[in-house]
Structure 1
């Protein structure tokens, strides 16, 4: 399904030719006496095998073949497939870990950091978590560091990689789809380091899921490939909540994402605290004499890493001030933060912020003609705070991105923004983003109980990606449009999205198409979707297949789905296993399933 496009082919070849035909080069002198077009053609043909060998690619005779998520062949063009998919390439190849600077890997600049490569960042203070982090990196597989924004997640991870894997190839994919394309084509070398800062940007059926992770890092294998990721706690809680029984969000959010987050457990899920431990403070105190920033950070109320990243100072710049320039600059920042709250985490066009910022100004200032210009206000918002990050970060092509620190605080309710995203933002944002980028915007709108906006977003996304079919089907299903929902589920299944199997099975069960419902629910379970184990058990129990139903309930309970506790308890009660029935009904109640309170009461009354 996924076709890898030859991106950057001409750029790569002409760059090499520029070197070859330099004004003082031998090749140029020869070419002066020959036909230029013929010579260029001959050079390209002659150099193609060399280029391919330098990039570590198979020969053209063998072809560049991989397999996509559905096992279909992916054929790459003869150009360098890394270009446009992997960042920070060196001579067209993946760089070594030590060749990429800290700031390039999105480690936040600290106060009074003036170098472009981060060489004058404060010295790294060893964290207590380093032991677990180094173990996970040495073992291979995936490790996730999580915590609030600006607590040192990225710095800890990158420092560990530089200590342990300085010369290994580093893959920083453009996005989740690029990672899937490269991995499916066999272009993630064994022993590579895959860096996914802000993991949520790389997830989903079009990006990283459990199957893709296991392909890159097979369990029990001899490979050393490691995937190192970071995630803010706000995002992690959202996905873990979506995976719990009874969660409304869990009914629409991509099951692949929820399953991956659940897959990363134990020592591979590392919390990063905002405050230093006693042992960490002692290490920092020993460094305080070498760097005054470290010494001052030890006394900061907001936390060691947050002080170094100027987090509180950035919040003060956004929230505290007066005068026309401040008000317009503040409105631009607020609009950019709201774009991220609305699910769009890419840089937004400056023209969109110009259009939206009126809605974030005080009413008295919205129609005044003497406001500062957008250019002046952007310059104010772009200024680094205390030499660290800026509230609004300028990006290429006249785009801007709000600081994730400000986003983190806004999502925690610690900003001037109201609980809900501004109503005017949704249609304006959907109008300018690419269709595929409308998918996460739909999820954000759904969480804010805006089904019309979510439907618009997913309908637009569905024109570019089949990932939108299942959530759109669920939304229409909830609205009673079952025929349209069924069609969408079937289209999603045909496109390889196994999460739609369970939803279609449940819809068919409601329509009393029991046999077909059982078939689809079983296929969903076979594909690893344990959330429908109980549903299949209920159908089989209704048909009198109590043994199979009991097994399914127990499997669901083992998988953490507490709603199956009550179902198993009721089944056991009907079979006369009263004591075990009481035990499971009590566990269901303890897990918050109050619907079985009466049933437990009846059993206890029966026992006197």
Structure 2
């Protein structure tokens, strides 16, 4: 009767994202946003405000332009010629300047010249793409020959184009401004991962460069392992990659990607044989059955073997530990030259994990000498970086590639390693990247540390109002949200929103992103009407400025539909989801991630409306596509399996639901780790199904295990921790341990009241659950008082027909029946039943429950009447 459950029913409801935290920089030139937004009462005041706002924004733009010019002039390498002008493609005769790996040195080979170029099968495709303009991306393993292929294609196709090759992500804004001022230009981005993420390349910047008159081309290379890492998001609760991950994905979607195999084809080998006059090519052909030509020329396999063998006793284990530490630093997001002091501090743990002193490690100086020694006069395991602070080094990316491919794109670097890295971070870009990596892995405390470092560093470097500074602060706000510190998150989002309004204007994409993020926090705080108003305002502006079919507009429609669902307005929510899904299918295609997210969200609403068969069909269709497109272990595939398990459970097929959840949990543990948020949600869902099947002791054990981890990882007051405590209390209730259940519910309620407020949905659920235990203990008067208080708030905050309001009325009717006030109980049950019939339909489970409750009360009334009317029978004696 008091079965108000507060269970997690989804592993991970992936939606298009409440907002993309990696906010875009610059105006939306690609979409020709020219409409000013003016808010005010008096025309004179509005005019003054508009002028002042325009002056602020113009001054801001001039400041940024000056910073860009300074940054551009400070770059070295191939970006600026000695004369001070940007080079043309034909001016760059050494491919090493553009990221091509140095080649091996052999007797008789000209070390001052690159090896002869072996034409690749994709050459024609690459050159046709360059001639057409746009964004051309070569993807392949490390040392597959991507940069050399791109270099040769650019020189052959676009020799007279201006070449802009920014040194790092910090120089990217300056490089973009240079590109848009030139009619014929190539923007060269070797190792694209270094130019993505916070402050990195965006969809809008790509459109600025490639759009308009002239012939502008972006040429980039990306390692396959990095592509997998960047496009394989870890599961983020309630949204999909709302940090810079969405920005990264959108940027990559703009590229014409061409894959370059590491192993040469038969025809490529024939071309190589025609160049055997180059001793290096001839030597590479002798090893062509083991590795690719370019791979051999860069000494990739040789250095990998050298690294692996160094761990043997008495070889170079300390040097190997330095290299292993460097590899993990790169995997965790540290992209700048690695300080020697950092690797020296980290390497001991790697050495100890392999045996420590038993390996007979060499001295530190010997270790550095070994690790930094170029092999065959070319590449070293750790290469010294000229001009880097603390004698910084770079690790050979081939070694990073091998490790990433072996461990998978979601593998985690140890927490202790990241904490040491953060202590050595000296620039905001590295802090941002570490923050993004740990955020996407669900390691929110580490992400908070990283973003708390990045934000002040951006302030010092770029100023308080710079887009990258505000983006970093926005990311910090998102992490605070995930950590359950909602009031802090709201304050940060409001501060960022105020600055973006002042600097960028009301309708700038970044400003709208901030409003959308704020709306998400308001929803989490239980302020549903405020959240809905914000979402509607953002949607209206995006429709007017960007158009009905723009991805950001679709995001807003999805957010609004989710908000309507939270408000209990399921018909409106379904209509919004169906409309958005229709546009996604038409514009993006049937298998696009956003289309699948939209179908999944629609299925959730169908399930809530009681149309379980249709919901199951949608979930199965989405799951089939994700398995085919993304693979069995992709987080989105796991999401679909979990959602399917949820609807199977609702249909009463508990054994099948359990099997799905156990399979999902096994993959989560192996791929994401034991303490990842998605793994813990999966365990909690499994515990819920065990509970439903009556295996209460096993359910209790699972809930306790999840609770212990959440307390340790997220803290005592995090919403997920409170969910676990509430779930545990529910099992204790079923086990008949009512005193323990009551204590848990009272503890959860106290925290909810203090942290979330008296009217938050979670607080109301907690009060209702407590009332259920009080009723079971026979304290019906106190239970009734709690339920009446909950009902009053639900009516005022959520409305008379919201599902939570109807649940509260039904629970109150149950207590009234227990107290013997059957007529009042009947009236309440009839009112609830009538509303559920009208809102949900006749066959919805809640409606059937309402009918059953009413029938029970009527039966009790009949029994009561029969007892009152029937005369006392006398007993005859003989």
| Shorter-chain TM-score range | 0.7 to 0.9
Equivalence for 1:320:
309
- Tell me how far 1:347 sits from its aligned partner: 0.8
Deviation at 1:386, TM superposition (A): 3.0
Q: Is the 8 A contact 1:254 1:499 kept in 2?
A: no
Contact conserved, 1:505 with 1:518, CA < 8 A, in 2? no
- Relative distance call for 1:241 and 1:598 in structure 2 (3 A) is closer
Unaligned runs of 5+ in 1: 4-64
Match of 1:103 in 2: 96
Partner of 2:281: 293
Aligned counterpart, 1:534? 558
1:69 Cα offset (Å): 13
SS in 1 for 2:296: helix
Aligned equivalent of 1:311, options 296, 300, 312: 300
Structure 2 equivalent of residue 483 of structure 1: 487
1:430 and 2:419 correspond: no
CA RMSD of aligned residues (A): 4.0
**Using a 3 Å threshold, how does the CA distance of structure 1 residues 184 and 123 change in structure 2: closer, same or farther?**
closer
Tell me how far apart the structure 1 counterparts of residues 314 and 374 of structure 2 sit (CA, whole Å). Answer: 20
Q: Is the 8 A contact 2:184 2:214 kept in 1?
A: yes
Q: Secondary structure at the match of 1:177?
A: helix
Alignment of 1:506-545 (within 5 A): 506-510=520-524, 511=526, 512=528, 513=530, 514-520=532-538, 526=546, 528-529=551-552, 530-540=554-564, 543=569, 545=572
Return the offset for 1:248.
Answer: 7.3
Match for residue 599 of structure 2 among 562, 565, 570: 565
* 8 Å CA contact 1:557, 1:564 repeated in 2: no
Aligned pairs for 1:350-429 (under 5 A) are 350-362=340-352, 372-396=362-386, 397=388, 398-413=391-406, 420-429=412-421
1:329 aligned onto 2:319: yes
Q: CA, structure 1 residues 83+481, in 2 after alignment: closer, same or farther (shift >3 Å)?
A: same
Alignment partner, residue 343 of structure 1? 333
Shift of 1:349: 1.5
User: 2:529 matched to 1:504?
Assistant: no
Closer, same or farther: CA 501–153 of 1 in aligned 2, 3 Å: farther
Determine if the alignment matches structure 1 residue 271 to structure 2 residue 259: yes
Structure 2, unmatched stretches of 5+, are 1-23, 27-54, 459-468, 501-509, 626-636, 652-842, 844-878
List aligned pairs for 1:38-437, cutoff 5 A: 74-76=64-66, 82-85=72-75, 87-88=77-78, 89-90=80-81, 91-100=83-92, 101-112=94-105, 119-184=112-177, 188-218=181-211, 221-242=212-233, 250-264=241-255, 268-291=256-279, 293-294=281-282, 296-297=284-285, 299-321=288-310, 322=312, 324=314, 326-362=316-352, 372-396=362-386, 397=388, 398-413=391-406, 420-436=412-428, 437=430
Q: Which residue of 2 aligns with 1:440?
A: 433
In structure 2, relative to structure 1, the CA distance for the partners of 1:114 and 1:215 (3 Å cut) is: farther
The 1:572–1:254 alpha-carbon spacing in structure 2 relative to 1, beyond 3 Å, is closer
1:570–1:581 contact (8 Å) kept in structure 2: yes
Contact 1:154 1:230 in 2 (8 A): yes
Q: Alpha-carbon deviations, 1:146-178, whole Å to 9, x = none? A: 111111111110111111122322111122332
Quote the Cα distance in structure 2 between the aligned partners of 1:156 and 1:69: 43
- SS of corresponding position for 1:317: helix
- In 2 relative to 1, CA 323–547 (structure 1 residues): closer, same or farther, beyond 3 Å? closer
Tell me how far apart the structure 2 counterparts of residues 498 and 456 of structure 1 sit (CA, whole Å): 26
Deviates more, 1:514-523 or 1:314-323: 514-523
Shift of residue 448 of structure 1? Answer: 4.7
What is the rounded CA distance, in whole Å, between the counterparts of 1:69 and 1:311 in structure 2?
50
Q: TM-score, normalised by structure 2?
A: 0.54
Which moves more between the two structures, 554-563 or 144-153? 554-563
Q: Relative contact order (C-alpha < 8 Å, sep 6+): which is higher?
A: 2
Aligned partners of 1:429, 1:262: CA distance in 2, in Å?
A: 31
Equivalent residues of 2:119, 2:271 under 8 A apart: yes
SS in 1 for 2:220: strand
Q: TM-score, normalised by structure 1?
A: 0.77
Partner of 1:26: none
Q: 1:556 to 1:384 in 2, by over 3 A?
A: same
| Contact in 2 for aligned 1:533/1:555 (Cα 8 Å) | no
Report how far residue 574 of structure 1 moved.
11
Q: Tell me if the contact between 2:323 and 2:382 (Cα under 8 Å) persists in the aligned partners.
A: yes
**For the structure 1 residues 181 and 226, does the alpha-carbon distance in structure 2 shift closer, same or farther, using more than 3 Å as the test?**
same
State the number of aligned residues.
534
